[in-house]
Amino acid sequence: MKRYDLVVIGAGSGNTVVDDRFADRSVAIIERGPFGGTCLNRGCIPSKMLVATADRAHDAATSAPFGVSTSYDGADWPAIRDRVFSRLDGIASDGHDYRVGLDHVTVLDGTARFTGPRRLEVTTDAGTEELEAGQVVLAVGSRPVVPDVPGLDEVEVHTSDTVMRLDALPGRIGIIGGGYIGCELAHIFDGLGSEVLQVESGEQLLGNQDEEVSEVFTAEVSQRWDVRLETELSSVRPVDGGRIELGLSQGGPEVVDVLLLAVGRVPNTDGIGLDLAGVETDERGRVVVDAHQRTTAEGVWALGDASSPEPLKHVANQDARVVQHNLLHPDRLVESDHRFVPNAVFTHPQVASVGLTEAQARDRGLDLAVGRNEIGDTAHGWALLEDRTDHRVKLLADRATGRLVGAHLIGPQASALVQPLIQAMSFDQPARGLARGQYWIHPALTETVENALLALEDDLDA
């Protein structure tokens, strides 16, 4: 049985743990898929490349209010798809080859399973081998949930893992789920010319966002594609021509060319022998970790989707940096900071948020001050939005402390505009003074954040 100083299971963010400071340690990296994990191969990066393409198509089709005579005449889907994946597949392959070329690193292309404390069985195409480790990093990621719906085993079903590599652009696509993954993919396929049917069991799309944001978002995209709220997928069955009939809890059956399930993700922690390793999981299958990313088993660490309730790449990267430091400096451990985890939805319009929603804050009994600014009230916002008045920045502060507790944005560049608000919350800066304590470039869109902060100060002082 071969022994390694460090074994990393998963080559997404887990791969970033190992840098040249580990050159004096024997390292094994175990990965059953391409290097780069979900983000590079089937998640945030390919989807954002497709979003960028869909944005161009949407702008071309909607430029008349700006006096520009453009139109959208269709997509060369294979060319779009191949532009994305010829690039990303090469990066994944290069990452694998780089690790293989390091003398102190062994790459095992296969599946790992614990057989005891820090003891593993790895199954590859060449067979099975056993190994033990001084330290283990669990970075196994997550996968899409496939619900138990009658008839699913009779049709071809896609998830975010597969739908971006379709052979052809679907004429009509049915998307089950109204979270950020379903909405981003709805924007992509609608923008490129597919007819989109989106089914959501809740009252609004993006139901985890602040209520004002989810209401505006749902109303706007409902003008672009067919949104069915408070509706569930009850059954599916194949029909002529390879199409799929969707039985819905409300309304008659609908027929689509492609069925996409986007109803959530689950950690890849089942079936890998965590009980034999002494690693505990919670009721959702997430690995239980402490503030240092240590599991309940000595010498075993976990990061990213395997342990975090926030399945976001920036969380996984932060966790990886903490694990890396703690492996290198066991005498001065650092803690993860999961207080203010931001999120963004790369749709049209964009959505971004950090902290508590208004409902969450009021449920906690906070005495709230609220500041809003319509993006269209700023010079650049007006230029971008014409007369639209529902894209906004909404800020929440606790009157008792004068600190921001939430920020919620919908509109152009929301994913970037939220950053100074994340910074203010992370560094415990008072809301008063944030606007006038610095310059805001005129007429940049950041003025809408400035104006929302000024409105928040007015409410704090009322």
Dihedrals phi, psi of 50, to nearest 5 degrees: -70, -35
Q: Two tokens at 122?
A: 């790895």
Query: Of 209, 182, 208, whose CA–CA distance to 196 is shortest?
Result: 182
Cα 282 from Cα 24, distance rounded (Å): 35
Contact 200, 231 (CB under 8 A): yes
- Answer yes or no: do 34 and 180 share one domain: no
**Which pLDDT does position 192 carry in this prediction?**
98
Write the pLDDT tens digit of every residue in 44-62: 999 999 999 999 999 999 9
Comparison of pLDDT for 182 and 386, the residue scoring more: 182
The half-sphere exposure of 328 on its side-chain side, counting CA atoms within 13 A, is: 15
What is the arithmetic mean of pLDDT over 186-191? 98
User: What's 12's domain CATH number?
Assistant: 3.50.50.60
Q: How far apart are the first and last CA of the chain?
A: 70
- Answer yes or no: do 38 and 137 share one domain: yes
Residue environment code for 56-83, b if the CB has 16+ CB neighbours within 10 A, otherwise e: ebbeeeeeeeeeeeeebeebebeebbee
Strand 300-302 to strand 127-138: parallel, antiparallel, or no bridges (unpaired)? parallel
pLDDT band at 241 (very low <50, low <70, confident <90, very high): confident
**Which pLDDT does position 209 carry in this prediction?**
98
**Which pLDDT does position 298 carry in this prediction?**
98
Is the residue at 65 inside a domain? yes
Q: Two tokens at 190?
A: 């609608």
Is the residue at 191 inside a domain? yes
What DSSP element (H or E) covers 112? strand 105-116
Provide the β-strand partners of residue 120: 114, 131
How many residues would you count in the chain? 462
Write the pLDDT tens digit of every residue in 287-310: 999 999 999 999 999 999 999 999
Position 387 pLDDT exceeds 80: no
Position 462 pLDDT exceeds 90: no
Q: Which residue has 């700023």 as its token pair?
A: 378
Position 232 pLDDT exceeds 90: yes
- Answer yes or no: do 103 and 11 share one domain: yes
Q: What is the DSSP string of 332-352?
A: S------SS--EEE-SSS-EE
Q: How far is CA 40 from CA 91, 92, 143, 199, 407, in A?
A: 8, 8, 14, 27, 28
What is the arithmetic mean of pLDDT over 67-92? 96
- Answer yes or no: do 134 and 27 share one domain: yes
Provide the β-strand partners of residue 309: none
Sign of CA pseudo-dihedral 137, 143, 148, 154: negative
- Answer yes or no: do 8 and 128 share one domain: yes
Residue 327 one-letter amino acid:
L
- Answer yes or no: do 257 and 275 share one domain: no
- Number of other CB atoms surrounding residue 304 within 10 Å: 32
Position 458 pLDDT exceeds 80: yes
- Answer yes or no: do 135 and 7 share one domain: yes
Is the residue at 206 inside a domain? yes
Position 377 pLDDT exceeds 90: yes
Cα 423 from Cα 293, distance rounded (Å): 23
Q: Is 329 tagged catalytic?
A: no
Cα Rg of the chain, angstroms? 24
Torsion from C-alpha of 227, 230, 233, 234, nearest 10 degrees: -150
- Number of other CB atoms surrounding residue 99 within 10 Å: 19
**Which pLDDT does position 252 carry in this prediction?**
84
> Active-site residue among 58, 104, 391, 442?
442
DSSP state of 430: B
Is the residue at 55 inside a domain? yes
How many domains does the chain divide into? 3
Q: What is the DSSP string of 166-187?
A: -SS--SEEEEE--SHHHHHHHH
- Answer yes or no: do 110 and 181 share one domain: no
Cα 365 from Cα 44, distance rounded (Å): 36
List the strands of the sheet with 172-176, edge to edge: 226-228, 195-199, 172-176, 258-261
Dihedrals phi, psi of 380, to nearest 5 degrees: -70, -35
Write the pLDDT tens digit of every residue in 96-145: 999 999 999 999 999 999 999 999 999 999 999 999 999 999 999 999 99
**Which pLDDT does position 326 carry in this prediction?**
98
- Answer yes or no: do 194 and 115 share one domain: no
Rounded to two decimals, the pTM is: 0.96
- Answer yes or no: do 282 and 314 share one domain: yes
Contact 334, 326 (CB under 8 A): yes
**Which pLDDT does position 250 carry in this prediction?**
93
Strand 403-410 to strand 392-398: parallel, antiparallel, or no bridges (unpaired)? antiparallel
Is the residue at 343 inside a domain? no
Q: What percent of the chain has pLDDT over 90?
A: 97
Is the residue at 189 inside a domain? yes
Position 402 pLDDT exceeds 90: yes
What is the arithmetic mean of pLDDT over 18-44? 97
Cα 319 from Cα 268, distance rounded (Å): 17
- Answer yes or no: do 137 and 284 share one domain: yes
Position 423 pLDDT exceeds 90: yes
- Answer yes or no: do 87 and 201 share one domain: no
Cα 198 from Cα 176, distance rounded (Å): 6
Q: What residue numbers bound the domain in which 385 lies?
A: 349-461
- Between CA 174 and CA 177, with CA 175 as vertex, the angle to 5 degrees is 150
Is the residue at 342 inside a domain? no
Residue 306 one-letter amino acid:
A
Q: Two tokens at 87?
A: 């690039």
Sign of CA pseudo-dihedral 318, 323, 326, 327: negative
